[in-house]
Amino acid sequence: MSEPSLGGETPSRPRASLRTAVVWEVLRDALDRRTETGGSAGGGLEVLDAGGGSGQFAVEAARLGHRVTVVDPSPNALFALERRAAEAGVADRVRGVQGDTQGLFDVVGRGAYDAVLCHGVLEYVDDPAEGLRAVAAALRPSGVLSLLAAGLGGAVLARALAGHFTEARQALTDPAGHWGAGDPVPRRFTADQLSELVTGAGLDVTAVHGVRVFADLVPGVLVDAQPGARDALARLEAEAAALPAFHAVATQLHVLAERL
Q: What is the pLDDT of residues 24-66, one digit of tens each?
A: 999 999 999 999 887 665 579 999 999 999 999 999 999 999 9
- Residue 67: the pLDDT is 96
Q: Dmax of the chain from CA atoms?
A: 56
Task: Write down how long the chain is.
Answer: 260
**What global pTM score does this model have?**
0.90
3-state SS of 94-120 is EEEEECCCCCHHHCCCCCCEEEEEEEC
In the sheet that holds 113-119, the strands lie side by side as 94-98, 67-72, 46-50, 113-119, 139-150, 252-259, 203-211
**Helices 165-173, 152-161: crossing angle, 10 deg rounding:** 160
Pairwise CA distance, residues 223 & 209, whole Å? 23
CA angle 139, 142, 147 (to 5 degrees): 55
Residue 100 φ then ψ, to 5°? -145, 180
The CA distance from 136 to 130, in Å, is 10
User: 199-237 pLDDT, tens per residue?
Assistant: 999 999 999 999 999 988 888 778 877 888 888 998 999
Q: Other CB atoms closer than 10 Å to residue 120's CB: what's the count? A: 22
Task: Flag the least confident range among 17-21, 27-31, 125-129.
Answer: 17-21
Whole-angstrom distance, CA of residue 74 vs CA of residue 58: 16
- Reported as a pLDDT band with limits 50, 70 and 90, residue 5 is very low
> What integer is the mean pLDDT of 181-197?
96
Give the mean pLDDT of the chain.
90
CB-based contacts of 63: which residues, under 8 Å, 6+ apart? 88, 90
